[in-house]
Amino acid sequence: ISLFTTTASAQTYPERTITMVVPFSAGGPTDTVARLVAESMSKDLGQQIVVENVGGAGGTLGAGRVASSEADGYTILLHHIGMATSATLYRKLAYDTLNAFEYVGLVTEVPMTIVARKDFEPTDLKGMIDYVKANKDTVTVANAGIGAASHLCGMLFMSAIETPLVTVPYKGTGPAMTDLLGGQVDIMCDQTTNTTKQIQGGTIKAYAVTSPAKLPVLPDVPTAMESGLADFEVGIWHGVYSPKGTPADVNERLAKSLQLALKDPNVVDRFAELGTVPSSEADATPAALKAKLESEITRWKPVIEAAGQYAD
Ligand code: MLT
């Protein structure tokens, strides 16, 4: 056996277009992150990365699509913390979260914002919480389905205020934002990658950010913690995965391209405008993403079980 044989695909990979599945609608926060990263990675790889939006079931349909794809490096997934929470929320998942994927690397950790339609009456988070508790049967909360980041943040919010609310699920917070702008839905907890421009433009109202400190792009928006929601902090980390069995050197080649993309000035600047920063080179690796996913499944399992919210 030749000691120098390596899978031909790895030596010449990629030879054709790569599909990056985003498990939420176009125009939402996950899609925004994916398109910026895919555009930059395409330049390095010399092949187009085409983003395909596969929404539904809080991101688990899109993840399942990739789990059952050819493990040849030409179908990859960009997903976020929902990969970890869905492992507990869904007791009948179409894939085994810790055994259906290979890892490429972490991409970014995005803060969230608690927002409302612009004419929502309360003027601060405390007033908003009082109002929501007093009108718990009529106030509507938008999210992107059980397993979405917006679902997780909404669940944490309802647990913190000890009040269940009426939720309205969408295939992504892109379409949810359309209804928030139109006043068809009242509140949402969504990532700055989807809300920053709307908040700055005054077309929605922001009550808090879920980051440990105020964000430079939203200097007037207090943190949830300083507004009375003690230890209400959640960051939406994103990772790139490939189907189980994808050759390790293909994943490494993708990781190298991801690391370059995360240093691309256009990616860095656009992320900054949207309230987030790229993951470090050390985190944009298969090992770092694997460790993150495993630790996050462990971290969120008891929180989800305490909230008692499951998908089936
Ligand atoms: C989520 O809520 O998980 C995402 O924001 C949905 C999306 O990216 O559209």
- pTM tops 0.80: yes
> What ipTM score was computed for the predicted complex, to two decimals?
0.92
| Virtual torsion, Cα 211, 215, 219, 220, nearest 10 deg | -20
The tens place of each residue's pLDDT in the chain, 312 residues long, gives 455 544 545 679 999 999 999 999 999 999 999 999 999 999 999 999 999 999 999 999 999 999 999 999 999 999 999 999 999 999 999 999 999 999 999 999 999 999 999 999 999 999 999 999 999 999 999 999 999 999 999 999 999 999 999 999 999 999 999 999 999 999 999 999 999 999 999 999 999 999 999 999 999 999 999 999 998 999 999 999 999 999 999 999 999 999 999 999 999 999 999 999 999 999 999 999 999 999 999 999 999 999 988 997
Q: What is the chain's alpha carbon radius of gyration, rounded to the nearest angstrom?
A: 19
Distance (Å, whole) CA 144 – CA 175: 9
CA of 144 to the centre of ligand 1 (A): 6
Query: By the 8 A CB rule, do 150 and 190 touch?
Result: yes
Question: Coil, helix or strand for 264?
Answer: coil
> What does the block give as tokens for 69?
């794809």
Residue given tokens 């030409």 in the structure block: 74
Q: What share of the chain is helix, strand, coil (3-state, %, to 5)?
A: 40, 20, 40
4 contacts: CB under 8 Å, gap ≥ 6: none
Residue 194, Cβ neighbours under 10 Å: how many? Answer: 29
State which ligand 1 atom lies nearest to the alpha carbon of 194.
Answer: 5
Q: What's the token pair of residue 301?
A: 């399992």
Instruction: Give residues (CB < 6 A) around ligand 1.
Output: 24-25, 28-30, 82, 144, 148-150, 172-174, 190-191
- Alpha carbon of 152 to ligand 1 centroid (Å): 10
